[in-house]
């Protein structure tokens, strides 16, 4: 799953004026993958290209105990909770950000072939929807589109920035699904992934700075 991971970020940004800004929540949504690709560049976690790995994703994610185990994801979530909570002086904001980080694991469990773990050791887990494009593609689009619509309806501001964000998300997802697959895993592939995350995060910062949280009666709060 790629853009579907940002669905919890959209929802979390819209549930309360005390929630972190959308840009912060976009980082939280993919923090586990930020960590994975950073660790992969130095060989701590590992992957390889294998066309037989799954129908949609030709990547064998065979060693990622620190980011894609449930315990590992929970530790990343706790770290995010602490940083955001202290930075915003709000336990609520920290909890929201931490939950967005933790959402990464169950969303991955839906689509990954068995390569996730609970604690870095077997058994390996994953429902495997990547082997069923007719299910995986509509699921990702529905989850992302529903969360985006909820965010737009629950906040106020110009529609242009979120429309640009959604368009770029869909374009990057289309490349991910239908573009040429990598021939090898390595620094170029890891940098591409991190660059995609950075672009979407920068756009989310822009969106978050131009929308405000709304409550009943049409009132809006500039602190989102």
Residues 6+ apart with CB under 8 A from 178: none
Q: Residue 20 in contact with residue 84, Cβ under 8 Å?
A: yes
pLDDT digits (tens, 9 = 90+) for 189-206: 999 999 999 999 999 999
Nearest-angstrom CA–CA distance, 190 and 192:
5
Note the pLDDT of residue 121. 96
pLDDT digits (tens, 9 = 90+) for 133-143: 999 999 999 99
Categorize the per-residue pLDDT at 212 as very low, low, confident or very high, splitting at 50, 70 and 90.
confident
Classify 2 as helix, strand or coil: coil
Handedness of CA 116, 63, 70, 137 (dihedral sign): negative
Query: Over pLDDT 90: what percentage of the chain?
Result: 93
Nearest-angstrom CA–CA distance, 224 and 65:
36
Classify 216 as helix, strand or coil: helix
């Amino acid at each position: 799953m790629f853009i579907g991971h940002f669905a919890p970020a959209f929802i979390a940004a819209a549930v309360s004026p005390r929630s972190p800004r959308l840009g912060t929540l976009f980082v939280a949504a993919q923090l586990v993958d930020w960590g994975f690709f950073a660790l992969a560049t130095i060989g701590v976690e590992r992957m390889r290209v294998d066309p037989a790995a799954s129908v949609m994703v030709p990547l064998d994610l065979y060693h990622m105990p620190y980011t894609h185990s449930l315990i590992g994801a929970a530790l990343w979530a706790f770290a995010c909770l602490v940083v955001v909570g202290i930075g915003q002086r709000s336990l609520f904001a920290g909890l929201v950000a931490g939950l967005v980080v933790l959402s990464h694991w169950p969303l991955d469990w839906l689509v990954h072939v068995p390569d996730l773990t609970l604690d870095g050791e077997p058994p390996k887990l994953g429902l495997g929807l990547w082997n069923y494009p007719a299910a995986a593609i509509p699921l990702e689009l529905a989850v992302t589109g529903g969360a985006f619509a909820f965010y737009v309806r629950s906040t106020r501001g110009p529609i242009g920035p979120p429309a640009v964000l959604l368009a770029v998300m869909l374009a990057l997802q289309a490349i991910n699904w239908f573009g040429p697959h990598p021939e090898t895993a390595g620094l170029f592939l890891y940098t591409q992934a991190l660059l995609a995350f950075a672009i979407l995060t920068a756009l989310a910062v822009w969106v978050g700075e131009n929308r405000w949280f709304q409550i009943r009666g049409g009132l809006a709060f500039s602190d989102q």
